[in-house]
Amino acid sequence: MVDLNSWIKHGDEIRRPLIVNHDITKSNKVVIVGAGLSGLCTAFRIAEKRPDIEIILVEKSNRIGGVIETWKQNEWICDVAVNATRNHPAFWRLIDDLGLENKFNSSNPKAKSRWVIINGKKHKLSVFSLLKIGPIKLFSSLKKSRAGGFSVAEVLPNKQIADALTLGIVNDTSENVDADFLIPSITKFGPNPPLKKSKLNSLISKSYPLFKPKKGSLASLDGGMETLIFALENKLSNLPNVRIVLNCNTDSPESISQDYGIPESSIIWCAKNPENNIEFTELSVFVIGFSAKSVQNIKLGYGTLIPDKSLPISGILHESDVHVSKRSPEGHRLFRLMVPHNRWDMREDSVLECAEKLLGDNPVLFSKIGQRKIPRYKPGHLSSLYPKSSNYSALGWTVSGVSITHVVDESERISELFET
């Protein structure tokens, strides 16, 4: 039974398993593999609680940050992966502890609307979208999902709506995505809170530092999410018990154990799953910019999801609409395009043609800004982790969290084990 204070602090993230070898708290040296957001946050959280422990953060590439990367060109700014965070006190606490409160703002309240293109027509997503499923059918599928191991397609039995949801988050169609992993609060995976959800949410809302976010809003950082990475790097570089090692060519806990003279129980793995049993999907990220006048027919909003496989673009995010901080030159708008490789002919011209049909002609900017591999979380994924024993601890994107909230909260949860 998880106590009430843990539920107030972590909310529904408590439902996600924490893959940890508890002997790690006996270590005087901890090696964290992977200097992405998960590894950086974990190093920071443990180091602040236990300055007596030597922490070595190793990264195979020549840069820290992992998938967090911000593209900039003159006055245009766009995040390649995560661009904002949903409401969760763990992220607010991180921003507060890093001293980034002056760069952190709620999203534009006028840009909340989301749309989905179904059968060539654009529909606004809302609670009424569930009527397309049917309340009886929806209730039945939700009740059935409590048994665990179901796909999102089985929980939300309208494929176009379900695909729009999963493509927008994990770049995969709904029949291939574990519902427990994506929406554990709906499937009731893991432990349940000790009091009613409404009362719990009220207590959680009072725990936010800085400012209390409005329901349904997002929040982001001036200058993009790299601002967070730079702040973490700065904090860690000033901690005498933390060392960051780049270009570290390791591929297994066994080799880390030998190289650093520690037991595997002293390793926290925040990189790609060393067991190599995770599949990935791939997508490319493009940006397209227009003068505001030329796309005045495009309503202010968060973005549009496109489950139609005949189109190369699966999602359009309104980058310059959403953020309070500037993302485009004055009098312009910027859109981020998500292009899954399994529905794209790999010609940039085909992406541009599709974008112009959906948004408008004569863009002033069009560029590919990145490429990503995203883990696949097939039905039963979360159940396979819970419970799971391991010689080492494992956190991050390829384990039990794909969002920025998951990995930031996980780092807090594991650091709490080090409290003396």
Is 388 a residue whose pLDDT tops 80?
no
pLDDT for the residue numbered 145 = 79
| Residue 354 near residue 306, CB atoms below 8 Å | no
pLDDT for the residue numbered 133 = 60
Least-confidence region, from 271-275, 316-320, 347-351: 271-275
Is 355 a residue whose pLDDT tops 80?
yes
pTM of the shown model: 0.94
In the chain, where are the structural domains located?
4-70+82-105+211-276+378-416, 135-186
Is 321 a residue whose pLDDT tops 70?
yes
CA distance 228 to 313: 28
Write down the CATH number for the domain with range 4-70+82-105+211-276+378-416.
3.40.50.720
Is 3 a residue whose pLDDT tops 70?
yes
Is 129 a residue whose pLDDT tops 70?
no
| Residue 360 near residue 290, CB atoms below 8 Å | yes
∠ at Cα 165 (371, 208), nearest 5°? 90
State both tokens at 281.
């999907």
Is 30 a residue whose pLDDT tops 80?
yes
pLDDT for the residue numbered 15 = 93
Is 389 a residue whose pLDDT tops 80?
no
Least-confidence region, from 128-137, 152-161, 211-220, 361-370: 128-137
Tokens 């002919």 belong to residue: 345
**CA nearest to 58, candidates 39, 40, 33, 30:** 33
CA distance 244 to 32: 9
pLDDT for the residue numbered 7 = 96
Mean pLDDT of the chain: 92
pLDDT for the residue numbered 385 = 84
User: For residue 221, is it left (φ>0), alpha (ψ between -120 and 50) or beta?
Assistant: beta
Is 300 a residue whose pLDDT tops 80?
yes
| Residue 392 near residue 270, CB atoms below 8 Å | no
pLDDT for the residue numbered 1 = 58
Q: Where are the beta strands (DSSP E) in 241-364?
A: 242-245, 267-269, 280-291, 303-305, 315-317, 332-340
Sheet arrangement for strand 218-221: 85-86, 218-221, 104-106
Q: What is the pLDDT of residues 182-204, one digit of tens each?
A: 999 889 999 999 999 999 999 99
pLDDT for the residue numbered 251 = 80
| Residue 212 near residue 201, CB atoms below 8 Å | no
